[in-house]
Amino acid sequence: MRTPDPTPSSLIRLELAGRLADPFLSEALFDHLTDIVYFVKDRRGRYVVVNETLVQRSGAKQKSDLIGKTSEEIFRDPIGNRFLAQDLSVVETEQPLVDELERHAYPSGNTGWCLTTKLALKGIDGTVVGLVGISRDLQSPGEDASDLSRLARIVEQIRGNLGTPLRTSELADRENMSAYQLDRRCRQVYGIPPSQLILQLRMSAAATKLRQTEDSIVAIALTVGYSDQSAFTRQFRRTFGVSPGKFRVQQAN
């Protein structure tokens, strides 16, 4: 695939990037954010850059103890191998992992909840050379997290049933939550109500299928819960600014 010509705005970015003594200057900034884990990894999922929070969270003594190792070598299963699987998926598919509600580990052996986002890093030739990510704490060690555990299970239920009608009251009932509890926790974690989260997950899944498959737009609409293609197209356009067909063409180019 031909790398597009740089735009004026990208030229400004490239000019500044070329003058930086350290391309990972954000590392120093993230060293001061104690509730956020920050990292840059290569294509094999090995740490290249980490912040001090990750050093402390892993139980290591210094940053160099982590550089060159994968999550699987640092964190015990199932956390370590899950992190590595995410890394390799982001690198191979180029699809971002956004606001993934998941567990992380503390040096004490306890676990907590965080929101993780990982993005593929591309080189000047357009190929993926690694990934960058952050994980933001949602609780303090020892804080009750039963609502977060239930919310995580509800999100998995939504992802596994996008092609069916989803009612927030029923999702809450399955986890012994009230609709109010679910709404409150969802807004605290994601900043949106459950109904908007469902819509967001439907549109994200549709976009992924448009990028990665040759399925018809009608078929994709059905898999994300739309029996009416025109309703699906209207919602997709509201979300992404273009029709599903145009989105697919843009992604192919």
SS3 label, residue 122: strand
Is residue 16 within 8 A of residue 38, CB to CB? The reply is no
What does the pLDDT look like over 11-23, one tens digit per residue?
A: 887 788 788 888 8
Q: Chain-wide mean pLDDT for the chain? A: 90
> Could you read off the pLDDT of 79-94 as tens digits, one per residue?
899 999 999 999 998 8
Indicate whether 125 and 156 sit together in one domain.
no
Question: CA 155, 130, 33, 75 torsion: positive or negative?
Answer: positive
β-pairing verdict for 128-137 and 111-122: antiparallel
Assess whether 122 and 152 both reside in one domain: no
Q: 29 and 129 share a domain? A: yes
CATH (domain of 220): 1.10.10.60
Domain-located, residue 118: yes
Whether 44 and 128 share a structural domain: yes
- Do residues 118 and 109 touch, judged by C-beta distance below 8 A? no
241 lies in some domain: yes
Phi-psi region of 219 (alpha: psi -120 to 50; beta: other; left: phi over 0): alpha
Range of the structural domain that residue 150 is part of: 146-252
Contacts of 92 (CB under 8 A, 6+ apart): none
Q: What is the mean pLDDT of residues 215-244?
A: 95
Domain end among 118, 137, 156:
137
Same domain, 194 and 248: yes
3-state secondary structure of 126: coil
Angle between helices 146-160 and 194-212 (to 10 degrees): 40
Indicate the DSSP class of residue 46: B
The CA distance from 182 to 151, in Å, is: 7
Residues 153 and 94 in one domain: no
Is 1 domain-assigned? no
- 80 and 169 inside one domain: no
Domain annotation covers residue 11: no
Nearest 5 degrees, angle CA 228-CA 229-CA 235? 95
Q: How many domains does the chain have?
A: 2
Does 129 reside within a domain?
yes
- The answer to whether residues 128 and 34 belong to one domain is yes
Within 10 angstroms of residue 54's Cβ, the number of other Cβ atoms is: 22
- The last residue of one of the domains, among 137, 163, 183, is 137
| Domain co-membership, 165 together with 123 | no
| Band (4; pLDDT cuts 50, 70, 90) | low
Last residue of a domain, one of 81, 111, 137: 137
Mean pLDDT, rounded, for 218-225: 97
Is 178 domain-assigned?
Answer: yes
Q: Where residue 85 sits, what CATH number does that domain have?
A: 3.30.450.20
Secondary structure of the chain: what % helix, strand, coil (to 5)? 50, 15, 30
Can you say how many angstroms the Cα of residue 98 is from the centroid of all Cα atoms in its chain? 2
Please check whether residues 119 and 64 belong to one and the same domain: yes
pLDDT surpasses 70 at 37:
yes
Dump strand ranges (E) for the chain. 36-42, 47-50, 97-105, 111-122, 128-137
**How many other C-beta atoms can be found within 10 angstroms of the C-beta atom of residue 212?**
12
Q: What is the pLDDT of residues 190-218, one digit of tens each?
A: 999 999 999 999 999 999 999 889 999 99
Q: Is 238 within a domain?
A: yes
Please report whether residue 10 resides in a domain.
Answer: no
